[in-house]
């Protein structure tokens, strides 16, 4: 949640950059919205977010999820925030999933703690899955949008004395992205250890970006402007057997 495209750098997201070197990287990928509800809808449905109300009122899932269930995929769906909150995934992308896990109960504090719990529960789920059947995993992290890295987590960029509130928030945001990146690294290392990485399509993307008044127009956070910083998000697709590539067009 909320990783903007220009955060995909070795300093901020080293594991994602490493993944991108062996993947298809879409440099001009834009979200379908500047908020979680719109952005997550466009990711799963491939439709403009103006259709959200129609699908949400019918609790109609996307074709993608219908096919996963039709072909017997095991669904490991883990979200750091309740799926019925901001993105309302229980009414759209994850509607009609049997025994849908609605929220994460974390023993660790804050959004970063919930992200840690999501990762641990995902690893445990992989231990218990049926290895004969295919699976679809969904890991939805929250620390970046909450601007909440763990306490005492080293800052990615220094905060100079006298920095503005928005400059301080931006530094903490990038630090939270770095923390989420480290969790992604654990997920990738675990897939490699299980010899699943070369049999699994891995997609890393985000629902929207974040803005900290970089343009001096007063726009901050997300859902406040259809700007480059709030709309331009990373998209990296590692597809075993397909060569690395960078896609420059939108």
Predicted pLDDT of residue 213? 97
- Average pLDDT of the chain, as a whole number: 97
Report, in this order, helix, strand and coil percent for the chain, each rounded to 5. 40, 15, 50
Each residue of 151-172: pLDDT tens digit?
A: 999 999 999 899 999 999 999 9
Predicted pLDDT of residue 47? 96
Predicted pLDDT of residue 107? 97
Separation between Cα atoms, residue 107 and residue 121, nearest integer Å? 12
- Average pLDDT on 33-48 reads 97
Predicted pLDDT of residue 18? 98
Each residue of 120-134: pLDDT tens digit?
A: 999 999 999 999 999
Predicted pLDDT of residue 169? 97
User: How sure is the predictor about 86, in pLDDT bands with cuts at 50, 70 and 90?
Assistant: confident
Tokens 């950059």, residue located: 17
Tokens 């402007």, residue located: 225
DSSP string over 92-150:
TTTTT-TT-------SSSHHHHHHHHHHHHHHHHHHHS-TTS-EEEEEE--HHHHT-PP
Decide: 187 and 196 in contact? Cβ < 8 Å. Answer: no
């Amino acid at each position: 949640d909320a990783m903007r495209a220009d955060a995909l750098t070795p300093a901020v997201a080293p594991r994602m950059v490493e993944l991108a070197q062996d993947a298809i990287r879409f440099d001009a990928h834009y979200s379908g919205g500047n908020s979680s509800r719109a952005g997550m809808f466009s990711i799963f449905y491939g439709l403009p977010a103006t259709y959200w109300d129609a699908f949400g009122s019918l609790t109609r899932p996307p074709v993608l999820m219908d096919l996963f269930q039709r072909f017997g995929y095991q669904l490991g769906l883990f979200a750091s925030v309740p799926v019925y909150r901001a993105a309302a995934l229980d009414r759209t992308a994850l509607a009609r999933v049997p025994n849908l896990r609605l929220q994460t109960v974390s023993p660790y504090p804050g959004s970063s703690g919930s992200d840690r719990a999501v990762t641990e529960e995902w690893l445990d789920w992989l231990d218990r899955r049926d290895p004969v059947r295919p699976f679809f995993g969904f890991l939805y992290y929250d620390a970046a949008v909450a601007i909440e890295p763990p306490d005492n987590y080293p800052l990615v960029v220094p905060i100079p004395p006298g920095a503005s509130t928005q400059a301080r928030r931006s530094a903490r945001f990038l630090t939270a992205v770095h923390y989420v990146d480290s969790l992604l690294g654990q997920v990738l290392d675990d897939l490699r250890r299980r010899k699943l990485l070369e049999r699994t399509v891995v997609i890393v993307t985000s629902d929207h970006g974040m803005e900290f008044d970089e343009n001096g127009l007063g726009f901050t956070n997300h859902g406040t402007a259809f700007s480059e910083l709030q709309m331009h998000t990373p998209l990296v697709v590692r597809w075993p057997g397909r060569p690395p590539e960078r896609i420059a067009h939108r």
